[in-house]
Structure 1
Amino acid sequence: MNLWHLKVFNEIMVSGTISQAAKNLKRTQSSISAALSNLEKHIGYNLFIRKKRRLHPVPEAYYLKEESKSILQQMRVLDQSLIKKNETGSEPIKIASMPLLAEILIPSTISKFKKKSPNSNFFVSSRQSSAVYQEISTQTFDIGIAELQNKNALVNQKEYHYECICVLFSGDPLSKKKIITPKDLSKKKCASFQPNHFITKNLIKIFEKNKAIFNPHYQFQNAGTSCVNIVDNADTYSVISPISFWLISKFNLDTSKIIFRRLSSSIPYSFGILTPSHQPMSQIAKSFLNYLENAIENMLKEINNEGVLFKI
């Protein structure tokens, strides 16, 4: 068994056909078939069942895929670390970012940076926070932005800790209050994130603690911007992150019918800039990192100027 065998096997697992695996690996179908055949001869049994021109993995194939994943990942890391990055910036700065900041903050920062370094180029990937940590810990990306997860020795992180914000209808009598309690919101319809989201989980906890009734009447993948249209009467509210508040302003959404207030039982929102702890950054990546840190500081200043940034 060799690395090429594993690479071919993993590609077939993903694509499901020899022909598609050959296209993805830019090899002939015969070479891919030969590699798979040699692998199956080596281990002594077939890894796939052929049905209707597709390859269906046997149970042992899933085991091999899981066990070989870290090997191939380490080889990618080694391969990347041996590639010489010249001073013109021809090697792209690789950035993995949570979706909230991947579409506006990152592109605008790149635009400003390219005025200083016109030869720089970038590879930007929008990922869930857990995936961003994975990419940074395996040193396949230079910089990441993510909601904070469990600390990882392979990841350096510059942390930001703030409170989530309550969104109310402007005509709600509660709008006269500066701080909103869970009991104020009891039984009201919440435009919430989905059940597995950390904000929703925290809302359930603080409502139970305060003996209030949490009613997630509307559930969204991204309640941060959806709340603008849903919170349209005194019986609805939402709870969003400070970054979602910033995005609402950047999207120029109509906020004339909503207001933002602080919660008495705070829900923490923590995010950070991540870099690999065991891989030196190129000079051009370091330079961009400074631009990114300044961009985030400016974003936080904008939120603070609106009176809704509460540091933990």
Structure 2
Amino acid sequence: MNPELNLRQVDVFRAIVKFGTVTAAAAALGSSQPTLTREVLRLEASVGFQLFERRRQRLHPTARALKLYHAIEEAYSGLDKINASLQRMRAASGEILQVSTLPTFAQSLLPEAVARLHSEAPGLTIEIDNGDPRSQSPISGFNFDIGLIEGEYDDPTTEVIRLGAFRQVCLIPAGHPLASGTGPLRLQDFEDQAFVSLGPKDPYRLILDRLFEEAGVTRRLPVTMQSANGACEMVRSGIGVSILNPLTALGYLGDRVVLRAFAQAPAFEVSALHPVDRPWVDTAGRLTGHLKAICAEAQQRLQALHLI
């Protein structure tokens, strides 16, 4: 049975592949050419197959050696991430708060909440990842203090904090026939209308499709978008109407866009997640408080606009 590689042998092998000559690798490692030459011979004896072909005073890795090199580089990339994280911790003058959020909240809820938190804790560093925190788990490893999601969620590995409950609203291009009038719009009002829809797997898209299908209402779908903000941009450009979450929609009100209530509007809930096995940091609680306050303010604004 061949012995396993030690760290010194890995460093020698990596340096030779990277620099191409024993002389250059020795200089990089602070060693001598004769010493490294002997170590290469012992290395090849240890692995049990040839690692290098010697041509024109250079060492060319064999096919097997390249596979080994790629495996080593993958391991080193993990170490690089660890060191990069360590450097961020050293550079931060205060606490580091990690947030994982759906993209729609990174553009609607979070900016104001982060601004309020930074006014209280100017030394705080906040790292925001635009990904679904529900895709993480104790097995893959939680990498957030606070995660922002929409809809229901029930999992024993996370604490769920309700931030706000809303109803979706209609976005109409200014000047569109549906932009005028009072009272909530109904499913039948969208008959034969150009409708900007979310992606085919979006849960709110599926709910709306079912509602229109059950009501026998046919829409035209000229554009499908993966993001709520992208759909709002399409409405603002006059492509069609849409029905979306009110937090994103409010950011477009008055910018060539009219908002109207929707009688059969699906519920839209916003929640924060906190991994139960992750220590609770003070700034996570304060950020959650600001998010709750902003959701309450949005609810009041929607009420004043007669959108709920």
After TM superposition, the score normalised by the length of structure 2 is 0.63
When the two chains are superposed, the root-mean-square deviation of aligned CA atoms in Å is: 4.3
Structure 2 unaligned spans of 5+: 11-16, 19-28, 30-35, 48-61
Alpha-carbon distance in structure 2 between the residues aligned to 1:264 and 1:171? 21
1:248 is paired with a residue whose SS is coil
Alpha-carbon distance in structure 2 between the residues aligned to 1:217 and 1:254? 21
Match of residue 154, structure 1, among 154, 157, 168: 157
The one-letter code matched in structure 1 to 2:159 is N
- Partner of residue 291, structure 2: 292
Match of residue 178, structure 1, among 173, 176, 183: 183
- Partner of residue 275, structure 1: 274
1:203 aligns with 2:204: no
Match of residue 219, structure 2, among 194, 210, 214: 214
Alpha-carbon distance in structure 2 between the residues aligned to 1:306 and 1:177? 11
1:149 Cα deviation after fit: 5.0
Alpha-carbon distance in structure 2 between the residues aligned to 1:200 and 1:288? 30
1:179 is paired with a residue whose SS is coil
The one-letter code matched in structure 2 to 1:306 is L
1:176 Cα deviation after fit: 2.0
Q: Residues 89 and 152 (structure 1 numbering): CA distance in 2 closer, same or farther, change over 3 Å?
A: farther
Alpha-carbon distance in structure 2 between the residues aligned to 1:208 and 1:102? 32
Is contact 1:220-1:226 (8 Å) kept?
no
The one-letter code matched in structure 1 to 2:125 is N
Alpha-carbon distance in structure 2 between the residues aligned to 1:240 and 1:99? 14
The one-letter code matched in structure 1 to 2:156 is A
Q: Which has the larger radius of gyration?
A: 2
Structure 1 unaligned spans of 5+: 9-17, 20-27, 42-48, 66-71
Q: How many residues align?
A: 242
1:292 is paired with a residue whose SS is helix
1:109 is paired with a residue whose SS is helix
1:247 aligns with 2:254: no
Match of residue 139, structure 1, among 134, 142, 145: 142
1:200 Cα deviation after fit: 2.2
- Partner of residue 165, structure 1: 169
Q: Residues 264 and 303 (structure 1 numbering): CA distance in 2 closer, same or farther, change over 3 Å?
A: closer
1:197 Cα deviation after fit: 1.9
Could you list the per-position Cα deviations for residues 86-113 of structure 1 after superposition, in whole angstroms to 9, with x for gaps in the alignment?
xx97340111111122145423323322
1:171 Cα deviation after fit: 4.0
Match of residue 193, structure 1, among 195, 198, 204: 198
1:78-89, aligned counterparts within 5 Å? none
Alpha-carbon distance in structure 1 between the residues aligned to 2:241 and 2:107? 26
1:178 Cα deviation after fit: 1.4
1:226-245, aligned counterparts within 5 Å? 226-231=233-238, 236-245=240-249
Alpha-carbon distance in structure 2 between the residues aligned to 1:261 and 1:135? 36
Alpha-carbon distance in structure 1 between the residues aligned to 2:304 and 2:282? 33
1:225 aligns with 2:201: no
Alpha-carbon distance in structure 2 between the residues aligned to 1:296 and 1:264? 21
Is contact 2:196-2:224 (8 Å) kept?
yes
1:297 Cα deviation after fit: 2.6
2:252 is paired with a residue whose SS is helix
Calculate percent identity across the aligned residue pairs: 15
1:195 is paired with a residue whose SS is coil
1:200 is paired with a residue whose SS is helix
2:204 is paired with a residue whose SS is helix
2:241 is paired with a residue whose SS is strand
The one-letter code matched in structure 2 to 1:179 is P
The one-letter code matched in structure 2 to 1:192 is S
Alpha-carbon distance in structure 2 between the residues aligned to 1:171 and 1:307? 20
Is contact 1:245-1:303 (8 Å) kept?
no
- Partner of residue 12, structure 1: none
